[in-house]
Structure 1
């Protein structure tokens, strides 16, 4: 029984938002991109971010050196009165309107995100898609989902589910038994609180003392708890905390704050907001990396999954297994003038802005431009299938991006 119940804390099975099948989901959570005008109290960025721009080495013939062309789009008008702008942009059904409005304005101010209609509509569109402006979204059939996943595990050990339920008859800190709480689950926050209590009472329940809460995302924007915990180490959290950062993610104010950060607080050279929406679903820079993969595939003659996942990861670190992208790049080694070690060094920056300044990226895109006789795409919708206990039909990252983009366009029309 004890061995069986250990599984409950290690499966990560109950993340409520849709997650991509791609190994990208297991990559380290991207650290926030800190702007140059960050507050002096901000901590330095985590080590996973590049310390600076990687110098671009001279191109190896036959690739001629091509200076980068930087096109700066005209700045979007910044609202003089953000609250008045949001009164126009928020859907009519949003309640309490002033609460959501004020939390959006506060988050943008704290994160130093420009108060533009485009930025506000991007966040509004994601909130609509993920929770329809519910701070604590209700998940239909949640008890069935939870027990079904538990049953899947107990089947592996040939132990009846009824015996497992008996172990949860013990009272939990809120006075109800754990079984009662599972049977009455309605929202993600309730599920998160349940697993927090199970973790704290692991020994009493016969669970491993080091059991972790498997709920990985939550709140009105379905933000990763791991991202939020990394963000506060690099950028000061502006609000008073009554509990953990995990608790903040499940609140309206904290959910908006961290959701706005992961969506907008990083430089992305995209021509269309759809690619930011894709990154929100698949991981930062997945759209840029998918375009890079397409270029590698065409140059090497290899068939690659264009999922934005350049390396294989294990426990948040690059694993020993060589990815298909690395194998394709090996065919181009002589044309690139880069060793396997050089390429791995650059690939490790795949979740940062700095990857676009590496010798590997620069030379691949130069070759792709030459091969096509024009500038090769620098952005591409990642090809990823979404899986979740809540999903019963085929959904993809492209589907998510298109759905959010439709809401985004309707929001802009409300100006």
Structure 2
């Protein structure tokens, strides 16, 4: 007897791939391959191929790379040399020693200096740094195991995120190299980018906030709303950046310090406040005592409802950027692309 199964949500595999091919740029080479990899990423992550999901992946990919698996970065050679010089200075290595190390032959027969001058993409730069760290003692001295290329692939996903994700969920493809190297492929970059964008529960009523999180970190928009409420409740300015605690976990940060000023008014000890702030990187922070009491107190004194999601106010910094950019700029650009994509989605598509 056949087993009864529920019909999965979203478009079927053939429908999804056909819709994607119609939505991808007409000039894009191998649209069928791109469509297959996007659908495969959603399927492997057990996410339905709804129009919203399909268009979200397309919108971020278009914004981040213009549908290039390994996009070129202008001025990358200069960026690489500057990073090497910075690391050498921090390690107390004189520049003549750096020049001597870069003159050594690398595994592909060229000197490291020649490879730096020729580098065009983050994949090439990442491979160069890996070789330099593995083969040159001086490279290990000031890079250790810390390859400075942090993002890559068609969705410019964080390599640290990809490596952490692969430790908790099996990567669905045969893996000839490292997870780092997979990020720079079309299939791997789309898989990990889709996971970062969509594979978590977030209390948002608009995709805008998920796009902001893609740039600023998961739950950043939820946490920024909490910081906004905290500022209202305390009367003290708080950076609306989505980071509830400093990265080192030990320093007393601005959000925590301001929250402590409310301890008596919201009936919580400093230890209880810190306990809840430690959940700021996880799902469910919005259900903590701290979150509920700060919002309740803020809304009682301000006499209006406060938003539960706010786009973080972050100035983006990267040697790749040639102008001032912000998380809000990124999120709104992607949101505009998402809306245009949905408007072009075939009418038969079922969200």
Using structure 1 for the length normalisation, give the TM-score. Answer: 0.77
SS at match of 2:155: coil
Please provide the CA RMSD for this pair.
2.1
1:176 aligns with 2:110: yes
Shift of 1:144: 1.5
Partner of 1:213: 147
Q: Deviations over 1:2-26 (max 9, x none)?
A: xxxxxxxxxxxxxxxxxxxxxxxxx
Partner of 2:10: 78
Partner of 1:348: 278
| Equivalent pair of 1:217/1:224 in contact (CA under 8 Å) | yes
Q: Deviations over 1:110-169 (max 9, x none)?
A: 101111111111111111111111111111111112223334556679987565223211
1:331 aligns with 2:261: yes
Please, which runs of 5 or more residues in structure 1 have no aligned partner?
1-75
Partner of 2:121: 187
Task: Kindly indicate whether structure 1 or structure 2 has the higher relative contact order, using CA contacts under 8 Å at least 6 residues apart.
Answer: 1
Alpha-carbon distance in structure 1 between the residues aligned to 2:193 and 2:239 = 28
SS at match of 2:316: strand
Structure 1 stretch displaced more, 128-137 or 163-172: 163-172
Structure 1 residue aligned with 2:34, among 82, 87, 100? 100
Shift of 1:213: 1.4
Please, which runs of 5 or more residues in structure 2 have no aligned partner?
1-7, 346-351
Alpha-carbon distance in structure 2 between the residues aligned to 1:114 and 1:299 = 40
Partner of 1:370: 300
| Equivalent pair of 1:330/1:340 in contact (CA under 8 Å) | yes
Alpha-carbon distance in structure 2 between the residues aligned to 1:136 and 1:206 = 26
Relative to structure 1, is the Cα distance of residues 163 and 209 closer, same or farther in structure 2, using a 3 angstrom cutoff? Answer: closer
| Equivalent pair of 2:213/2:220 in contact (CA under 8 Å) | yes
Structure 2 residue aligned with 1:132, among 61, 66, 73? 66
Shift of 1:94: 2.4
| Equivalent pair of 1:103/1:256 in contact (CA under 8 Å) | yes
| Equivalent pair of 2:91/2:141 in contact (CA under 8 Å) | no
Alpha-carbon distance in structure 1 between the residues aligned to 2:283 and 2:67 = 31
SS at match of 2:284: helix
Structure 1 stretch displaced more, 289-298 or 198-207: 198-207
Alpha-carbon distance in structure 2 between the residues aligned to 1:248 and 1:157 = 30
Task: Give the total of aligned pairs.
Answer: 336
Alpha-carbon distance in structure 2 between the residues aligned to 1:309 and 1:209 = 27
Q: Deviations over 1:58-88 (max 9, x none)?
A: xxxxxxxxxxxxxxxxxx9711321122123
SS at match of 1:353: coil
| Equivalent pair of 1:202/1:209 in contact (CA under 8 Å) | no
Bigger helix fraction: 2
Partner of 2:176: 242
Structure 2 residue aligned with 1:262, among 196, 203, 217? 196
Partner of 1:20: none
Shift of 1:171: 0.8
